[in-house]
Amino acid sequence: MQLDVLALAPHPDDTELCCGGTLTALVNQGKSVGVVDFTRGEMGSRGTPEQRLSEAQDAAEIIGLEVRKNLGLPDTKLKSIREYQKKIIQQIRAYQPHICIVGAPSDRHPDHGNGTQLALDAIFYSGLTKIETTGEEGNLQDRWRPSHVLHFMQDRPFKPDIVFDISDTFETKKEAILAFETQFNVQDTGDDPETYISNEQFFEGIEARARHYGHLIGAKYGEPFKYHNGPVPMESFETFFETEPQR
């Protein structure tokens, strides 16, 4: 199966939080979209790995993902080593995405920056013939490197190159986030501690950020991205002519 877009992220819920509206919009546009989570988030203060995996599948159904995989790498121990790179390379070569979306270059959580570097290294090495990997059926995989790589914004802001209008999909994004019921907007913490992300204030911040970036492009809600490959390549201004002027 070939995917149009493959998102690579350290933890279950990272993509829902940071690009869930965009992924939903792409699905609605008929694009094939998948997510590969590196870890099960087992070191998080709330929930079990089994709960996190179940929540991730629920969120995948809400967004309409064609693929949701978890590599089972160790949470809080992500680093760019060949063993981990090859697990990601296998996924990139298996799904041959046109676009890869990865995490922020650096962030509050060390796994985010470390996971992004791991993803970027895997994306590059996936294009090298002499780094060999095999598919699920034991076949030698062809090399593959996506045409475009985008960074989604996580906790720490950056100056975006692209803001995607998610006005029509923000409610679905919220629903997908809330599928991680052990993590977000938790009303009854039970025996687990309250965390940075479990309280209502954090969830309100998600909407505030989406409104802010939406405002910058004349939309209700937006999701910001940085383009990894340098200047955004264009062969035509057709997209500009198709866009309604800001009022």
Q: What pLDDT is stored for residue 215 in this prediction? A: 97
Q: Give the range among 31-45, 180-194, 208-222, 224-238 with minimum mean pLDDT.
A: 180-194
Q: Is the pTM of this model over 0.85?
A: yes
pLDDT at 61 over 90: yes
Average of per-residue pLDDT across 8-33: 97
Look at residue 89 and give its three-state secondary structure.
helix
Length of the chain: 247
Look at residues 9, 4, 26 and name the one whose alpha carbon lies nearest to residue 173. 26
User: Measured in Å, how far apart are the chain's first and last C-alpha atoms?
Assistant: 42
Give me the domains of the chain, ranges plus CATH numbers: 5-242 (3.40.50.10320)
Average of per-residue pLDDT across 41-69: 90
**Mean pLDDT of the chain, nearest integer:** 92
| Chain segment 165-222, per-residue pLDDT in tens | 999 999 999 999 999 988 776 565 566 767 766 777 888 999 999 999 999 999 999 9
Amino acid at 20: G
Q: What pLDDT is stored for residue 245 in this prediction? A: 63
Regarding beta strands 67-73 and 99-102, do their DSSP bridges make them parallel or antiparallel, or are they unpaired?
unpaired
Q: What pLDDT is stored for residue 139 in this prediction? A: 94
Three-state helix/strand/coil letters over 106-162: CCCCHHHHHHHHHHHHHHHHCCCCCCCCECCCCCECCCCCCCEEEEECCCCCCCCCE
State the CB neighbour count (10 A cutoff) for residue 188: 5
